């Protein structure tokens, strides 16, 4: 009886105390200056098997820029948080090989989060991830037959822009950023991003692009309040 | 004395090895080294049964490299046996039986690997059958037989290194593989030289005045080329494309900036179509050393060729070969420049590898000839000195009388 009373008291007090709630960080990435012209991937069209899968020559996708200079494929993440990964239980992320190209070419995951690599092509590929030396992540090179079974990858350590490539078709590559927390996003075609449920606090927010470089700014997430954080990156 | 057939076969093996280095160059030039992720199989197939329809993209280069390497391995086995002459027959017989039984055992014990068992068994059967009729010649000198055995061990090591590089995903093994390939070519060229009638009957003569200086010059330049080829192998196995995209300047300067900010800028400005790695300051430094070493090699080879011409005369075969060597180095410098100007076009970069290998082999052959000629001079000198001494000794000793001799 005494225990029940104590439990009710504690629960009542806890309910009466103000609880800090998480907030969302949103923003838009903009590119300053004209991006360099993308290159045509001529080796793809010269390949008798891959060339058949395209009607026009695909181009590189280093700068995916919208009409108002909105920049896609920027990895936005909170710095200074670690050990908060929920990757093991997070839903897997899909990396597809379609038309002898990786789709998407930039993605971000948590440590131990599964990356399912599909082969939607009627062509044989090999899936070869190349982590940075000393990153603690393991290099693997696996064959994947036409429309073959999915391959699953996951990485135990954080790493920026780990490369996936196909050595059969050397123009095929994608980059995966790995974080040991869930507070990151990749900007969409309209340059927008959203990092949800960030605990209150002061943080450094980083926006990293493969070619335009990295920009960092200070933000503060207050009790349940949304934070707006826009970035401008310069074309190199 | 080695037969003409043996010499021709040694030349064929050396040429096949040069071709193999060329195909290896195509593999790295196309970045296809990892296009076949398994070894010794190819996408699960026995290497010799991989369907031609699947030889696509980078697989074509890597798989062709493996097949040509197998052919070179077979040629080296035959060359080694040939050098051992009739004494090789028992080894062929026992080896043949062993392979035949191994093939049968694989086929029975491992049904999914039946094709592998068949290939091993057929190899054994071929060895066994051949052992009844071949080789017919007498064994070559012991030291030449050793050369053959070293070549055999080297080709086996090469195959294993190449395979392990793929399976263990180790670039460092690729560098060792590429360097050993060059040394293997030199060894086979040497065997071809040693089995030639020219080497055995009419060894090259140089005037004693040439002394040790000329061989040392050629040897020094050859070692520089070997160092340069090793450097090239390191560069190729970084998989970073061109670390410096311009020539003769480097990022518009005589000596490029290599601080982290500059390297980040270089990488940001590179819009690479192919999946090459980002460049690093180390790779830029490596290419600068490659350029400087090229200048040094050009100077060393030019000086060696000029020295040979001065010491041996313009008509001497080694003087002429020295000029051919210089021509190869000039072509190599030009190919290096075109490799950069063409943004590392695969065929040009491969030609650069091939001419590099040829330069090393030719330098090594000339050096060997000069060293041999120099030693011959030493031997002649000793004979010439020993003769008068012996004659004076004979004069000073009491001559046996005719009667004593008769007794």
- Flag whether pLDDT at B276 surpasses 90: no
Between B375 and B91, whose confidence is greater?
Answer: B91
How many C-beta neighbours within 10 Å does residue B242 have? 20
For residue B31, the distance in angstroms to the closest alpha carbon of chain A comes to 7
Question: A202 and A169: one domain?
Answer: no
Residues from chain B contacting residue A48 (CB–CB below 8 Å): 56
pLDDT band (50, 70, 90) for residue B181: very high
In a domain, A7, yes or no: no
Element (H, E) at A209: strand A201-209
Question: A88 and A201: one domain?
Answer: no
In a domain, A201, yes or no: yes
- Flag whether pLDDT at B33 surpasses 50: yes
Collapsed DSSP state (helix, strand, coil) of residue B351: helix
Look at A4-8, A145-149, B261-265 and tell me which has the smallest mean pLDDT: A4-8
Order of strands, sheet of A201-209, starting from the edge strand that comes earlier in the sequence: A184-186, A75-79, A201-209, A213-221
* Rounded-to-integer distance, Cα B303 and Cα A160, Å: 51
In a domain, A88, yes or no: yes
Collapsed DSSP state (helix, strand, coil) of residue B43: coil
* Rounded-to-integer distance, Cα A199 and Cα B79, Å: 73
- Flag whether pLDDT at B67 surpasses 70: yes
In a domain, A114, yes or no: yes
Partner residue opposite B269 with nearest CB, options A43, A141, A236? A236
Element (H, E) at A117: strand A115-119
ipTM for the predicted complex: 0.82
| Rounded to 5°, angle at Cα A91 from A90 and A93 | 115
Average the pLDDT over B202-218 and give the result: 79
User: Cis peptide before B402, with omega less than 30 degrees from 0?
Assistant: no
Question: A118 and A168: one domain?
Answer: yes
Give φ, ψ of B160 to 5 degrees. Answer: -65, -40
In a domain, A154, yes or no: yes
pLDDT of B384 reads 59
Q: Is B269 on the interface with A (CB under 8 A)?
A: yes
Domain count, chain A: 2
pLDDT of B379 reads 61
pLDDT band (50, 70, 90) for residue B402: very low
Average the pLDDT over B19-45 and give the result: 95
Provide the domain limits for residue A160: 82-178
The structure tokens 């030889």 sit at B55
- Flag whether pLDDT at B271 surpasses 80: yes
* Rounded-to-integer distance, Cα B157 and Cα A42, Å: 38
Residues from chain B contacting residue A126 (CB–CB below 8 Å): 34-37
Order of strands, sheet of A159-165, starting from the edge strand that comes earlier in the sequence: A106-110, A173-179, A159-165, A125-130, A140-144
pLDDT of B380 reads 60
Average the pLDDT over B9-33 and give the result: 97
Around B76, how many Cα atoms within 13 Å sit in the side-chain half-sphere?
29
* Rounded-to-integer distance, Cα B223 and Cα B304, Å: 13
Q: Is B31 on the interface with A (CB under 8 A)?
A: yes
pLDDT of A18 reads 47
pLDDT of A92 reads 98
Q: What's chain A's Rg over C-alpha atoms?
A: 21
DSSP label at B193? H
- The CATH number of residue A61's host domain is 2.60.40.1120
pLDDT of B407 reads 31
pLDDT of B399 reads 47
Residue A39 to residue B273, Cβ atoms within 8 A: yes
For residue B256, the distance in angstroms to the closest alpha carbon of chain A comes to 19
- Flag whether pLDDT at B397 surpasses 80: no
- Flag whether pLDDT at B106 surpasses 80: yes
Between B378 and B68, whose confidence is greater?
Answer: B68
Question: A144 and A172: one domain?
Answer: yes
Question: A173 and A111: one domain?
Answer: yes
Question: A151 and A191: one domain?
Answer: no
Question: A40 and A64: one domain?
Answer: yes
DSSP label at B302? H
Residues from chain B contacting residue A36 (CB–CB below 8 Å): 269, 271
Instruction: Using the 3D structure, point to which of A152, A178, A204 is the last residue of a domain.
Output: A178
Partner residue opposite B273 with nearest CB, options A139, A166, A171? A171
pLDDT of A24 reads 95
* Rounded-to-integer distance, Cα B36 and Cα B62, Å: 7
Per the DSSP assignment, residues forming a β-bridge with A228 are A26
Residue A236 to residue B265, Cβ atoms within 8 A: yes
- For helices B4-29 and B57-84, give the axis angle rounded to 10 degrees: 160
pLDDT band (50, 70, 90) for residue B203: low
Instruction: Using the 3D structure, point to which of A129, A147, A178 is the last residue of a domain.
Output: A178
Collapsed DSSP state (helix, strand, coil) of residue A193: strand
State the first-to-last Cα distance of chain A, in angstroms, to the nearest integer.
71
Q: Is A211 on the interface with B (CB under 8 A)?
A: yes
Between B303 and B381, whose confidence is greater?
Answer: B303
Average the pLDDT over B139-168 and give the result: 97
* Nearest C-alpha neighbor of B186 from the set B14, B312, B302: B14
Q: Is A171 on the interface with B (CB under 8 A)?
A: yes
Average the pLDDT over A210-235 and give the result: 94
Burial class (CB in 10 A: 0-12, 13-18, 19+), A55: exposed
Tokens of A220: 């503060």
pLDDT band (50, 70, 90) for residue B385: low
DSSP label at B253? B
Q: Mean pLDDT in chain A?
A: 91
* Residues counted in chain B: 407
Question: A172 and A191: one domain?
Answer: no
Partner residue opposite B273 with nearest CB, options A43, A48, A123? A43
Instruction: Using the 3D structure, point to which of A162, A178, A194 is the last residue of a domain.
Output: A178
Residues from chain A contacting residue B274 (CB–CB below 8 Å): 43, 170-171
Q: Per residue in A23-39, pLDDT tens? A: 999 999 999 999 999 99
DSSP codes of every residue in B327-384: HHHHHHHHHHHHHHHTTS-HHHHHHHHHHHHHHHHHHHHHHHHHHHHHHHHHHHHHHH
DSSP codes of every residue in A143-192: EE-TT---EEE--SS-EEEEEEE-SSSTT-EEEEEEESSS-EEE--TTSE
- Flag whether pLDDT at A17 surpasses 50: no
In a domain, A30, yes or no: yes
- Flag whether pLDDT at B401 surpasses 50: no
pLDDT of B162 reads 97
- Of the residues B44, B273, B276, the best mutation for testing chain A's interface (the one with the most A CB atoms within 10 Å of its CB) is B273
HEC-encoded secondary structure of B70-134: HHHHHHHHHHHHHHHHHHHHHHHHHHHHHHHHHHHHHHHHCHHHHHHHHHHHHHHHHHHHHCCCC
Question: A93 and A146: one domain?
Answer: yes
pLDDT of B400 reads 46
Between A65 and B201, whose confidence is greater?
Answer: A65
Residues from chain B contacting residue A146 (CB–CB below 8 Å): none
Specify the pairing of strand A140-144 against strand A106-110.
unpaired
- Flag whether pLDDT at B339 surpasses 50: yes
Average the pLDDT over A54-64 and give the result: 95
pLDDT of B91 reads 96
pLDDT of B378 reads 61
Residue A143 to residue B37, Cβ atoms within 8 A: yes
pLDDT of B168 reads 96
- The CATH number of residue A86's host domain is 2.60.40.420
Around B261, how many Cα atoms within 13 Å sit in the side-chain half-sphere?
0
Q: Is A59 on the interface with B (CB under 8 A)?
A: no
pLDDT of B382 reads 56
Q: Per residue in B328-338, pLDDT tens? A: 999 999 999 99
The structure tokens 């980083």 sit at A206
- Flag whether pLDDT at B404 surpasses 60: no
* Buried residues in A189-198 as b, exposed as e (16+ CB within 10 A): eebbbebeeb
Q: Per residue in A145-179, pLDDT tens? A: 887 899 999 999 999 999 999 999 999 999 999 99
Predicted TM-score of the model (pTM): 0.88
Question: A71 and A100: one domain?
Answer: no
């Amino acid at each position: 009886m005494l225990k029940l009373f104590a439990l009710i008291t504690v629960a009542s007090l806890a309910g009466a105390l103000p609880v800090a709630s998480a907030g969302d960080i949103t923003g838009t990435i903009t590119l300053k200056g004209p991006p360099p012209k993308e290159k045509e991937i001529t080796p793809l069209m010269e390949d008798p098997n891959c060339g058949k899968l395209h009607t026009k020559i695909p181009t590189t996708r280093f700068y995916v820029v919208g009409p108002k200079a909105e920049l896609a494929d920027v990895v936005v993440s909170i710095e200074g948080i670690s050990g908060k990964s929920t990757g093991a239980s997070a839903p897997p992320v899909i990396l597809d090989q379609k038309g002898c190209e990786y789709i998407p070419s930039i993605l971000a995951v948590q440590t131990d989060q599964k990356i399912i690599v599909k082969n939607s092509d009627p062509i044989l590929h090999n899936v070869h991830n190349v982590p940075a030396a000393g990153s603690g992540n393991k290099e693997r090179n696996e064959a994947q037959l036409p429309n073959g079974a999915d391959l699953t990858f996951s990485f135990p350590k954080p790493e920026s822009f780990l490369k996936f490539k196909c050595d059969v078709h050397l123009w095929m590559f994608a980059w995966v950023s790995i974080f040991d927390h869930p507070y990151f996003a990749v900007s969409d075609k309209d340059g927008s991003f959203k990092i949800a449920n960030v605990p209150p606090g002061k943080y450094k927010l980083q926006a990293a692009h493969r070619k335009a470089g990295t920009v960092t700014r200070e933000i503060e997430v207050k009790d349940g309040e949304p934070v707006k954080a826009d970035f401008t990156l310069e074309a190199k | 004395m080695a037969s003409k057939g043996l010499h021709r076969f040694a030349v064929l093996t050396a040429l096949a090895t040069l071709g193999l280095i060329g195909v290896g160059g195509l593999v790295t030039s196309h970045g296809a080294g990892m296009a076949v992720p398994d070894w010794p199989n190819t996408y699960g197939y026995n290497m010799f049964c991989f369907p031609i329809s699947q030889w696509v993209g980078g697989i074509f280069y890597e798989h062709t490299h493996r097949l040509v390497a197998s052919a070179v391995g077979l040629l080296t086995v035959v060359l080694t046996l040939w050098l051992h002459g009739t004494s090789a027959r028992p080894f062929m017989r026992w080896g043949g039986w062993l392979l035949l039984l191994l093939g049968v055992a694989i086929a029975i014990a491992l049904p999914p690997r039946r094709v592998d068992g068949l290939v091993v068994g057929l190899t054994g059967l071929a060895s066994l059958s051949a052992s009844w009729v071949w080789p017919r010649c007498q064994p070559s000198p012991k030291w030449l037989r050793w050369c053959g055995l070293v070549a055999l061990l080297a080709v086996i090591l090469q195959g294993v290194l190449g395979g392990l590089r793929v399976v263990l995903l180790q670039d460092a093994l690729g560098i060792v593989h590429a360097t050993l390939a060059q040394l293997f070519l030199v060894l086979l060229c040497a065997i071809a030289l040693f089995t030639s009638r020219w080497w055995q009957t009419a060894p090259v003569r140089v005037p004693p005045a040439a002394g040790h200086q000329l061989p040392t010059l050629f040897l020094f330049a050859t070692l520089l080329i070997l160092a340069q080829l090793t450097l090239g192998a390191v560069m190729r196995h970084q998989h970073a494309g061109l670390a410096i995209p311009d020539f003769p300047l480097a990022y518009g300067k005589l000596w490029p900036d290599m601080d982290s900010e500059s390297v980040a800028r270089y990488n940001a400005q590179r819009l690479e179509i192919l999946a090459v790695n980002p460049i690093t300051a180390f790779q830029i430094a490596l290419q600068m050393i490659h350029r400087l070493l090229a200048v040094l090699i050009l100077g060393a080879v030019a000086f060696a060729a000029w020295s040979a011409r001065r010491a041996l005369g313009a008509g001497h075969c080694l003087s002429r070969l020295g000029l051919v060597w210089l021509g190869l180095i000039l072509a190599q410098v030009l190919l290096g420049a075109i490799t950069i100007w063409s943004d590392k076009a695969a065929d040009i970069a491969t030609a650069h590898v091939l001419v590099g290998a040829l330069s090393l082999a030719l330098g090594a052959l000339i050096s060997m000839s000069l060293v041999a000629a120099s030693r011959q001079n030493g031997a002649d000198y000793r004979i010439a000195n020993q003769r008068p001494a012996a004659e004076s000794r004979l004069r000073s000793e009491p001559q046996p009388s005719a009667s004593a001799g008769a007794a």
